Structure 1
Amino acid sequence: MSDPASLLDWLQNWYAQQCDGDWEHEWGVKIATLDNPGWTVSIDLEETDLEEREYPRQEINRTPRDWVWAWTAEKTFRAACGPGNLAEALTLFRTWATVIAA
């Protein structure tokens, strides 16, 4: 698994690169909790280099508390995951975002 500190540093940097005086007023990154329990991640791709890229729905189900789902919809990267899988969900975004589109 990746180093959580470097993962957070990468996400902060990605966010900062999108902020141009306008983008951050309309779009952003949202991380919230679920009641089953778990996390949701919503990363706006509108007006970024990623807005036209697709992340086909992926569902990894290991146990009721160890799972991660990720997909793009409506120019947004979305993920939902178990309580211990937030770094894994964010790593899926980082890996997808940093791979040059074929």
Structure 2
Amino acid sequence: MSESMNVLDWLQYWYASQCDGDWEHEWGVTIGTLDNPGWTVKISLEETDLADRVYPRQQVTRGEHDWVMAWTSEKTFHIACGPRNLTEALTLFRAWAAEGAP
């Protein structure tokens, strides 16, 4: 995968690479909205190479609508972020997932 690939294309590639006929029936990626406003993302790590890795809770707050939180728990990568921070937040997942990758 090219490092210049945009993060949404990368996420689609990552998701497709997990699909094996079984994984996608139980696990997956969920993107929703928050009412404060913002985004929420849950990326299942169950049965992936990332399942046992930890991403400690991190939070960056630059303003009322400019913030990002990310963490792992229960084999899920969680994101909550402001309404214009989705790309930034998904980039955190991408960087973390790529750590130690061949």
Q: TM-score, normalised by structure 1?
A: 0.93
Q: Partner of 1:91 in structure 2?
A: 91
The more displaced of 45-54 and 92-101 is 92-101
Instruction: Measure, in 2, the Cα distance between the counterparts of 1:40 and 1:62.
Output: 18
Matched AA of 1:8: L
What is the RMSD computed on CA atoms of the aligned residues? 1.6
In the TM superposition, residue 79 of structure 1 has moved relative to its aligned partner by: 0.5
- Residue 6 (structure 1) shift: 1.5
Q: Deviations over 1:19-62 (max 9, x none)?
A: 00000000000000000000001000000000000000000011
Q: Which amino acid letter does the alignment assign opposite residue 72 of structure 2?
A: T
Q: What does residue range 1-102 of structure 1 map to in structure 2 within 5 Å?
A: 6-100=6-100
Partners in 1 of 2:9 and 2:40 — Cα distance? 19
Separation in structure 2 between the aligned mates of residue 77 and residue 7 of structure 1, nearest angstrom: 16
Unaligned runs of 5+ in 1: none
Q: Which amino acid letter does the alignment assign opposite residue 80 of structure 1?
A: A
C-alpha deviation, 1:82, in angstroms: 0.2
- The number of equivalent residue pairs is 99
